[in-house]
Amino acid sequence: MWDYTDKVLELFYDPKNQGVIEDNGEPGVKVATGEVGSIACGDALRLHIKVQVESDQIVDARFQTFGCTSAIASSSALTEMVKGLTLDEALKVSNKDIADYLGGLPEAKMHCSVMGQEALEAAIYNYRGIPRAAHDDDDEGALVCTCFGVSENKVRRVVIENNLTTAEQVTNYIKAGGGCGSCLAKIDDIIKDVKEKNAVTNLNTKGVNLTKEIANSGQKRPLTNVQKIALIQKVLDEEVRPVLIADGGDVELYDVDGDIVKVVLQGACGSCSSSTATLKIAIEARLRDRINPSLVVEAV
Protein backbone atom coordinates (compact mmCIF):
# COMPACT_ATOMS: atom_id res chain seq x y z
CA MET A 1 0.00 0.00 0.00
CA TRP A 2 1.19 3.49 -0.79
CA ASP A 3 2.27 5.71 2.07
CA TYR A 4 -0.20 8.57 1.76
CA THR A 5 -0.27 11.62 3.98
CA ASP A 6 -3.25 12.36 6.20
CA LYS A 7 -4.18 15.24 3.89
CA VAL A 8 -4.25 12.97 0.84
CA LEU A 9 -6.48 10.51 2.66
CA GLU A 10 -8.69 13.28 4.01
CA LEU A 11 -9.32 14.67 0.52
CA PHE A 12 -9.77 11.19 -0.91
CA TYR A 13 -12.32 10.08 1.64
CA ASP A 14 -14.05 13.46 1.69
CA PRO A 15 -13.25 15.24 -1.58
CA LYS A 16 -14.05 18.92 -1.81
CA ASN A 17 -15.58 20.53 -4.88
CA GLN A 18 -16.41 17.42 -6.85
CA GLY A 19 -18.75 17.78 -9.78
CA VAL A 20 -19.51 20.07 -12.68
CA ILE A 21 -20.03 23.81 -12.98
CA GLU A 22 -22.88 24.46 -15.35
CA ASP A 23 -22.69 27.55 -17.52
CA ASN A 24 -26.05 29.14 -16.77
CA GLY A 25 -25.33 32.32 -18.65
CA GLU A 26 -24.87 34.20 -15.39
CA PRO A 27 -23.90 37.80 -16.24
CA GLY A 28 -20.31 38.80 -15.55
CA VAL A 29 -18.96 35.25 -15.23
CA LYS A 30 -17.72 32.65 -17.65
CA VAL A 31 -17.20 28.90 -17.16
CA ALA A 32 -14.26 27.10 -18.70
CA THR A 33 -13.15 23.48 -18.63
CA GLY A 34 -9.76 21.81 -18.89
CA GLU A 35 -9.39 18.13 -19.72
CA VAL A 36 -6.21 16.09 -19.41
CA GLY A 37 -5.31 12.42 -19.27
CA SER A 38 -7.17 9.51 -20.83
CA ILE A 39 -8.98 6.30 -20.06
CA ALA A 40 -6.13 4.40 -21.70
CA CYS A 41 -3.53 5.85 -19.34
CA GLY A 42 -5.71 5.27 -16.31
CA ASP A 43 -5.73 8.90 -15.17
CA ALA A 44 -8.04 11.63 -16.37
CA LEU A 45 -9.16 14.93 -14.92
CA ARG A 46 -11.76 17.41 -16.05
CA LEU A 47 -11.46 20.71 -14.21
CA HIS A 48 -14.21 23.32 -14.30
CA ILE A 49 -13.48 26.93 -13.37
CA LYS A 50 -15.90 29.82 -13.00
CA VAL A 51 -14.23 33.15 -13.75
CA GLN A 52 -15.43 36.63 -12.88
CA VAL A 53 -14.74 38.37 -16.16
CA GLU A 54 -14.06 41.85 -14.83
CA SER A 55 -11.58 40.86 -12.15
CA ASP A 56 -10.18 37.86 -14.06
CA GLN A 57 -10.64 35.94 -10.83
CA ILE A 58 -11.57 32.27 -10.32
CA VAL A 59 -14.66 32.34 -8.14
CA ASP A 60 -15.40 28.61 -8.17
CA ALA A 61 -13.67 25.40 -9.22
CA ARG A 62 -14.90 21.82 -9.42
CA PHE A 63 -13.49 18.57 -10.70
CA GLN A 64 -14.29 15.15 -12.12
CA THR A 65 -11.52 12.59 -11.82
CA PHE A 66 -10.96 9.10 -13.13
CA GLY A 67 -8.01 7.86 -11.19
CA CYS A 68 -6.46 6.62 -8.03
CA THR A 69 -6.40 7.98 -4.50
CA SER A 70 -3.73 10.56 -5.19
CA ALA A 71 -5.38 11.69 -8.43
CA ILE A 72 -8.62 12.37 -6.59
CA ALA A 73 -6.83 14.10 -3.71
CA SER A 74 -4.68 16.20 -6.10
CA SER A 75 -7.76 17.31 -8.02
CA SER A 76 -9.59 18.24 -4.87
CA ALA A 77 -6.55 20.12 -3.53
CA LEU A 78 -6.23 22.02 -6.79
CA THR A 79 -9.82 23.27 -6.63
CA GLU A 80 -9.27 24.49 -3.09
CA MET A 81 -6.02 26.22 -4.04
CA VAL A 82 -7.22 28.16 -7.07
CA LYS A 83 -10.44 29.63 -5.74
CA GLY A 84 -9.96 33.36 -5.34
CA LEU A 85 -6.86 33.57 -7.53
CA THR A 86 -6.69 35.66 -10.68
CA LEU A 87 -5.95 33.68 -13.81
CA ASP A 88 -2.40 35.03 -13.92
CA GLU A 89 -1.89 33.97 -10.33
CA ALA A 90 -3.42 30.56 -11.03
CA LEU A 91 -1.02 30.04 -13.93
CA LYS A 92 1.80 30.19 -11.45
CA VAL A 93 0.43 27.21 -9.48
CA SER A 94 2.87 24.39 -10.12
CA ASN A 95 2.53 20.67 -9.63
CA LYS A 96 4.94 21.03 -6.73
CA ASP A 97 2.52 23.47 -5.09
CA ILE A 98 -0.22 20.86 -5.36
CA ALA A 99 2.00 18.16 -3.89
CA ASP A 100 3.06 20.52 -1.09
CA TYR A 101 -0.57 21.32 -0.29
CA LEU A 102 -1.11 17.59 0.18
CA GLY A 103 1.90 17.29 2.48
CA GLY A 104 3.70 15.43 -0.30
CA LEU A 105 2.89 12.54 -2.61
CA PRO A 106 4.74 9.25 -3.07
CA GLU A 107 7.38 9.90 -5.75
CA ALA A 108 5.72 7.37 -8.06
CA LYS A 109 2.47 9.33 -7.81
CA MET A 110 3.82 12.77 -8.70
CA HIS A 111 2.20 12.46 -12.13
CA CYS A 112 -1.15 13.06 -10.39
CA SER A 113 -0.02 16.53 -9.34
CA VAL A 114 1.28 17.20 -12.86
CA MET A 115 -2.13 16.23 -14.21
CA GLY A 116 -3.71 18.81 -11.90
CA GLN A 117 -1.40 21.58 -13.02
CA GLU A 118 -1.97 20.70 -16.68
CA ALA A 119 -5.75 20.66 -16.28
CA LEU A 120 -5.59 24.10 -14.71
CA GLU A 121 -3.51 25.42 -17.60
CA ALA A 122 -5.89 23.81 -20.06
CA ALA A 123 -8.92 25.42 -18.41
CA ILE A 124 -7.30 28.86 -18.38
CA TYR A 125 -6.17 28.60 -22.00
CA ASN A 126 -9.65 27.46 -22.96
CA TYR A 127 -11.05 30.46 -21.15
CA ARG A 128 -8.67 32.73 -23.02
CA GLY A 129 -9.41 31.02 -26.30
CA ILE A 130 -5.90 29.73 -26.75
CA PRO A 131 -5.66 26.17 -28.11
CA ARG A 132 -3.62 24.45 -25.40
CA ALA A 133 -2.06 21.81 -27.57
CA ALA A 134 -0.67 24.55 -29.78
CA HIS A 135 0.19 26.80 -26.90
CA ASP A 136 2.52 24.87 -24.72
CA ASP A 137 4.08 22.81 -27.47
CA ASP A 138 3.67 19.69 -25.36
CA ASP A 139 2.09 17.82 -28.19
CA GLU A 140 4.63 19.04 -30.68
CA GLY A 141 8.11 17.77 -31.23
CA ALA A 142 9.24 14.18 -31.49
CA LEU A 143 7.32 11.55 -29.57
CA VAL A 144 9.63 10.11 -26.94
CA CYS A 145 7.37 7.67 -25.09
CA THR A 146 4.99 5.89 -27.44
CA CYS A 147 3.38 3.89 -24.62
CA PHE A 148 2.01 7.02 -22.96
CA GLY A 149 2.24 9.44 -25.91
CA VAL A 150 4.70 11.86 -24.32
CA SER A 151 6.62 14.31 -26.50
CA GLU A 152 10.19 15.48 -26.11
CA ASN A 153 9.01 19.00 -25.28
CA LYS A 154 6.90 17.75 -22.42
CA VAL A 155 9.84 15.79 -21.01
CA ARG A 156 12.02 18.90 -21.26
CA ARG A 157 9.43 21.03 -19.56
CA VAL A 158 8.95 18.73 -16.57
CA VAL A 159 12.70 18.27 -16.19
CA ILE A 160 13.24 22.04 -16.08
CA GLU A 161 10.27 22.91 -13.90
CA ASN A 162 10.94 20.24 -11.30
CA ASN A 163 14.72 20.11 -11.59
CA LEU A 164 14.60 16.37 -12.30
CA THR A 165 17.85 14.49 -12.65
CA THR A 166 16.91 10.89 -13.46
CA ALA A 167 14.72 9.09 -15.99
CA GLU A 168 12.96 7.35 -13.10
CA GLN A 169 11.86 10.73 -11.76
CA VAL A 170 10.55 11.69 -15.20
CA THR A 171 8.51 8.46 -15.22
CA ASN A 172 7.09 9.31 -11.82
CA TYR A 173 6.09 12.78 -12.93
CA ILE A 174 4.65 12.23 -16.42
CA LYS A 175 4.69 8.44 -16.88
CA ALA A 176 7.09 8.62 -19.85
CA GLY A 177 9.27 5.52 -19.72
CA GLY A 178 6.84 3.65 -17.50
CA GLY A 179 5.61 1.28 -20.20
CA CYS A 180 7.99 -0.81 -22.29
CA GLY A 181 10.94 1.25 -21.06
CA SER A 182 12.55 1.51 -24.48
CA CYS A 183 12.64 5.32 -24.28
CA LEU A 184 14.51 5.52 -20.97
CA ALA A 185 17.84 6.05 -22.71
CA LYS A 186 16.34 8.89 -24.77
CA ILE A 187 14.99 10.48 -21.57
CA ASP A 188 18.46 10.26 -20.06
CA ASP A 189 19.79 12.09 -23.14
CA ILE A 190 17.19 14.84 -22.77
CA ILE A 191 18.06 15.31 -19.08
CA LYS A 192 21.73 15.55 -19.99
CA ASP A 193 20.96 18.10 -22.71
CA VAL A 194 18.85 20.22 -20.36
CA LYS A 195 21.65 20.18 -17.79
CA GLU A 196 24.19 21.30 -20.37
CA LYS A 197 21.97 24.13 -21.59
CA ASN A 198 21.31 25.21 -18.02
CA ALA A 199 25.04 25.35 -17.42
CA VAL A 200 25.47 27.64 -20.45
CA THR A 201 22.57 29.84 -19.35
CA ASN A 202 24.01 30.15 -15.87
CA LEU A 203 27.31 31.29 -17.34
CA ASN A 204 25.58 33.88 -19.50
CA THR A 205 23.63 35.27 -16.61
CA LYS A 206 26.47 35.61 -14.15
CA GLY A 207 26.22 38.96 -12.51
CA VAL A 208 22.53 39.16 -13.21
CA ASN A 209 22.09 40.08 -9.58
CA LEU A 210 22.48 43.57 -10.97
CA THR A 211 18.85 43.13 -12.03
CA LYS A 212 17.76 43.41 -8.45
CA GLU A 213 19.92 46.43 -7.85
CA ILE A 214 18.47 48.22 -10.86
CA ALA A 215 14.97 47.30 -9.81
CA ASN A 216 15.62 48.57 -6.30
CA SER A 217 16.94 51.85 -7.58
CA GLY A 218 13.79 52.10 -9.67
CA GLN A 219 11.75 52.10 -6.51
CA LYS A 220 13.33 55.35 -5.48
CA ARG A 221 12.86 57.23 -8.73
CA PRO A 222 11.41 56.43 -12.19
CA LEU A 223 13.49 54.12 -14.36
CA THR A 224 15.47 55.82 -17.05
CA ASN A 225 15.13 54.39 -20.56
CA VAL A 226 18.60 52.89 -20.27
CA GLN A 227 17.72 51.24 -16.96
CA LYS A 228 14.41 49.98 -18.33
CA ILE A 229 16.05 48.44 -21.40
CA ALA A 230 18.79 46.89 -19.29
CA LEU A 231 16.24 45.48 -16.89
CA ILE A 232 14.06 44.05 -19.68
CA GLN A 233 17.15 42.45 -21.23
CA LYS A 234 18.13 40.93 -17.89
CA VAL A 235 14.67 39.48 -17.20
CA LEU A 236 14.56 38.05 -20.70
CA ASP A 237 18.01 36.50 -20.30
CA GLU A 238 17.50 35.28 -16.78
CA GLU A 239 13.93 34.07 -16.70
CA VAL A 240 12.37 33.84 -20.14
CA ARG A 241 14.99 32.60 -22.58
CA PRO A 242 16.02 29.45 -20.63
CA VAL A 243 12.45 28.16 -20.80
CA LEU A 244 12.04 28.99 -24.49
CA ILE A 245 15.45 27.56 -25.36
CA ALA A 246 14.53 24.31 -23.62
CA ASP A 247 11.51 24.07 -25.90
CA GLY A 248 13.62 24.73 -29.00
CA GLY A 249 12.83 28.44 -29.30
CA ASP A 250 14.26 31.81 -28.24
CA VAL A 251 13.53 35.51 -28.05
CA GLU A 252 15.58 38.64 -28.88
CA LEU A 253 14.88 42.15 -27.64
CA TYR A 254 14.41 44.37 -30.70
CA ASP A 255 13.38 47.77 -29.33
CA VAL A 256 11.67 49.55 -26.46
CA ASP A 257 9.36 52.43 -27.26
CA GLY A 258 7.82 53.86 -24.10
CA ASP A 259 5.90 50.91 -22.61
CA ILE A 260 5.92 48.96 -25.90
CA VAL A 261 8.52 46.18 -25.85
CA LYS A 262 9.27 44.85 -29.32
CA VAL A 263 10.79 41.37 -29.55
CA VAL A 264 11.74 38.87 -32.23
CA LEU A 265 10.62 35.28 -31.58
CA GLN A 266 13.14 32.78 -32.83
CA GLY A 267 13.48 29.05 -33.46
CA ALA A 268 10.42 26.97 -32.61
CA CYS A 269 8.75 30.03 -31.08
CA GLY A 270 8.98 31.91 -34.36
CA SER A 271 7.11 29.25 -36.28
CA CYS A 272 4.76 28.22 -33.49
CA SER A 273 1.07 28.72 -34.16
CA SER A 274 0.62 29.79 -30.56
CA SER A 275 3.23 32.50 -30.55
CA THR A 276 0.66 35.03 -29.33
CA ALA A 277 0.19 33.06 -26.17
CA THR A 278 3.95 32.80 -25.73
CA LEU A 279 4.20 36.57 -26.06
CA LYS A 280 1.42 37.30 -23.62
CA ILE A 281 1.93 34.63 -20.99
CA ALA A 282 5.56 33.62 -21.12
CA ILE A 283 7.01 37.09 -21.85
CA GLU A 284 4.60 39.97 -21.23
CA ALA A 285 3.20 38.65 -17.96
CA ARG A 286 6.74 38.06 -16.68
CA LEU A 287 7.97 41.55 -17.66
CA ARG A 288 4.89 43.18 -16.13
CA ASP A 289 5.41 41.26 -12.93
CA ARG A 290 9.10 42.06 -12.67
CA ILE A 291 9.31 45.61 -14.08
CA ASN A 292 6.17 47.55 -14.82
CA PRO A 293 2.50 46.42 -15.07
CA SER A 294 1.93 48.74 -18.02
CA LEU A 295 4.42 47.08 -20.37
CA VAL A 296 3.04 45.64 -23.61
CA VAL A 297 5.00 43.09 -25.59
CA GLU A 298 4.72 42.90 -29.35
CA ALA A 299 6.43 40.69 -31.90
CA VAL A 300 8.08 42.26 -34.91
Partner 1 sequence: MSVIYLDNNATTKVDPAVVEAIMPYLTEFYGNPSSMHTFGGQLGKAVRTAREQVAALLGADESEIVFTSCGTEGDNAAIRAALLAQPEKRHIITTQVEHPAVLNVCKQLETQGYTVTYLSVNRHGQLDLDELEASLTGNTALVTIMYANNETGTIFPIEEIGKRVKERGAIFHVDAVQAVGKIPLNMKTSTIDMLTMSGHKIHAPKGIGALYVRRGVRFRPLLIGGHQERGRRAGTENVPGIVGLGKAAELERLHIETAIKRETRLRDRLEQSLLAKIPDCEVNGDITQRLPNTTNIGFKYIEGEAILLLLNKYGICASSGSACTSGSLEPSHVLRAMGLPYTTLHGSIRFSLCRYTTEAQIDRVIEVMPEIVERLRALSPFKNDEAGWLQAQEQTLAHR
Binding site for partner 1 (CB under 8 A): 1, 12-13, 15, 18, 33, 35, 38-40, 42-46, 63-69, 71-72, 108-109, 147-148, 171, 175, 178-179
Q: How far is the CB of 18 from partner 1 (least distance, A)?
A: 5
Give CA–CA dist 86/178, Å, rounded: 35
Give the whole-angstrom CA distance, residue 262 versus residue 48. 35
Question: In terms of CB distance, is 63 or 101 closer to partner 1?
Answer: 63
User: Distance between CA atoms of 91 and 127, rounded to whole angstroms?
Assistant: 12
CB 134 within 8 A of CB 153: no
Q: Which is nearer to partner 1, 18 or 94 (CB)?
A: 18
Query: Under 8 Å CB-to-CB from 280, ≥6 apart: which residues?
Result: 297
For the bound state, the minimum distance from the C-beta of residue 64 to partner 1, rounded and expressed in Å, comes to 4
Nearest CB to partner 1, comparing residues 44 and 51: 44
Least Cα distance to 101 among 6, 34, 173 occurs for: 6
Strand 296-299: give its sheet, edge to edge. 249-257, 260-266, 296-299
Residue type at 30?
K
Please confirm, yes or no, whether 145 is among the known catalytic residues. no
Residues 6+ apart with CB under 8 A from 153: 136, 137, 138, 140, 141, 247, 248
CB of 126 to partner 1, least distance (A): 12
Nearest residue (CB) to partner 1, 148 versus 287: 148
Nearer to partner 1, 43 or 239 (CB): 43
Q: Identify residue 70 by its one-letter amino acid code.
A: S
CA angle 54, 56, 61 (to 5 degrees): 120
DSSP, res 223: P
In the complex, the smallest distance separating the C-beta of residue 149 from partner 1, rounded to whole angstroms, is 10
Does the annotation mark 41 as catalytic?
yes
DSSP β-ladder status, 296-299 and 260-266:
parallel
In the complex, what is the shortest distance from the CB of residue 134 to partner 1, in angstroms, rounded to a whole number?
A: 18
Rg (CA), the chain: 20
Catalytic residues: 41, 112
